[in-house]
Amino acid sequence: MKENVYDKLEERLGYTFKDKELLKHALIHRSYGNEHWEYKKINNERLELLGDAVLDLVVTEYLYKNFTKSSEGDLAKLKSMVVSEPVLAKISRELGIGKYLLLSKGEELTGGRDRSSILGDVFEAVLGAIYLDSGSDFLVAKAYGTKLLEYQINHIEENEELIDFKTILQEHSQKSHKVTPVYEVVKETGPDHRKNFEIVVSINDEAVGRGNGRNKKSAEQSAAKDACKKLGVKAFEAL
């Protein structure tokens, strides 16, 4: 990779590496070694492991200091959502990291540059590389990670695909009404290969939400989401 390509990527990342090899290392997917023998045992997985540990501490410390009213349980749920594949992959896409990945031709042809699992991993690898490049200065890695993750943390409820509305509704129902919500299929439409289920969820025999989905599980999530919104039940009280 040419120097000017590094410059463009560093500009997108908002960080200038003293050791450019660390950045390159963070971008090497394990498939690259299948076609480049010199990289057979060189990939970003070790940096990913390091970055994962750094990210875990960055996010946990931020949540501990900024969500002082949240319980340990809520903090744990929030952390698992923030460091999840969809969130990290979203950040990688916003930074345009996929364009710079070193992949095998096969991996690239099958959409590897935009695969969430790869993009989530490479974000952790880049964070690990920044940590090492800074001389293992956690404050540098924390400042960088916080800058990119702060918005995601404070708007986590907008990532509805990450939220288990059924569990949230059940916890609310058991706490407030001492009963478990009941889900009922009220309509099935479409052919077998494209079924649509309409489900109503009730608490104490009162309908509180309605949802649709291609299967019962997704329809129940949709109904629980509708119920949470109507009842004013938040995923996390501190948000």
Catalytic residue annotation: 52, 124
Give the three-class secondary structure for 183.
Answer: strand
Max distance between CA atoms of the chain, in angstroms, equals 66
Nearest alpha-carbon partner for 79 in 66, 98, 94, 92: 66
121 is in an annotated binding site: yes
Give the containing element (helix H, strand E) for 48. helix 45-66
Nearest alpha-carbon partner for 41 in 50, 32, 51, 52: 32
Cβ atoms < 10 Å from Cβ of 81: 21
48 is in an annotated binding site: yes
161 is in an annotated binding site: no
β-strand partners of 210: 200
SS (H, E, C) 74-100: HHHHHHHHHCCHHHHHHHHHHHCHHHH
Nearest alpha-carbon partner for 131 in 12, 4, 18: 18
**How is residue 82 written in tokens?**
């923030």
What is the tally of helices (H) and strands (E) in the chain? 10, 3
Annotated binding site: 48, 121, 124
Annotated binding site for Mg(2+): 48, 121, 124
